[in-house]
Amino acid sequence: MLTVGLTGSSGSGKGYVSSLLERAGIPCLDTDRVCREVYKKGNPCYQELVAAFGEGILGPDREIDRGALRKTAFAAEERYRKLNEIAFRHIRKATVAWLEEQRQKGEKVAVIDAPMLFESGFDSLCDKIVAVTADTETQIRRIVKRDGVGEEVAAERLKKQKPNAEYLARADFALDNSDAVGDQIKEDAAALAEKLKALAEAKGMPGERSQEGKPPLSPHGERKG
């Protein structure tokens, strides 16, 4: 089975691309949804987080308040690293289990939708990487609409994330999901789905990816050579 990592910064429209790939018959796992699941009361991740950060991260229902958790963890670099260490470990376990389920079902391609694909080390699970990008203006507009924050807040969030160039440098395929592109993204995602299926069929079980010596991206998002 070909395992594909789908990544990009906030406001790139990665979730929409994931939905288009699913429409094309490729199962996709939203790791943010997995995160919400492992955070639920009674799960091992929940217990570790409460032990590490205290009950101040809990809401009235005793579930983890993600806003309170972020505020507590982001107050110090050491806390932030601790949060990632705990969360990534549990999300990875669930992700590996999901991938095995897809293999058992006989799927040829499976996609891991992860905004922090490289920071979490989840790229090591992937045979190919897809980067979803958009221009800054589009990203800011989407974040404002999605999260109900001001443009300045949205812009500050983007500044703390990797620039598009970093995602592109480490990707095997790239999709431009800027607003100006319009419905072209639907055609591009459908074409990518077919390429991934063909690659899985042609190569069978792919070997490990190499981050070194990869040729540049073509205008259509696929690497040349």
Indicate the residue among 106, 121, 144 that finishes a domain. 106
- Quote the crossing angle between the two packed helices 66-73 and 77-105, to the nearest 10°: 130
Four-residue CA torsion sign, 139, 145, 146, 151: positive
Pair 72, 98 in one domain: yes
Q: Which two tokens stand for residue 43?
A: 């799960």
**pLDDT tens digits, 48-90:** 999 999 999 999 999 999 989 988 988 888 999 999 999 999 9
Rounded to two decimals, what is the model's pTM?
0.84
Q: Are 131 and 171 in contact (CB under 8 A)?
A: yes
Residue 202: predicted pLDDT = 85
Token couple for 89 = 């470990």
Report pLDDT digits (tens) over 1-48: 999 999 999 999 999 999 999 999 999 999 999 999 999 999 999 999
Taking the CB of residue 18, how many other CB atoms lie within 10 A of it? 21
| Total number of domains constituting the chain | 2
Does any domain span residue 35? no
- Greatest alpha-carbon pair distance for the chain in Å reads 56
Section 153-178 average pLDDT: 92
Same domain, 96 and 153: no
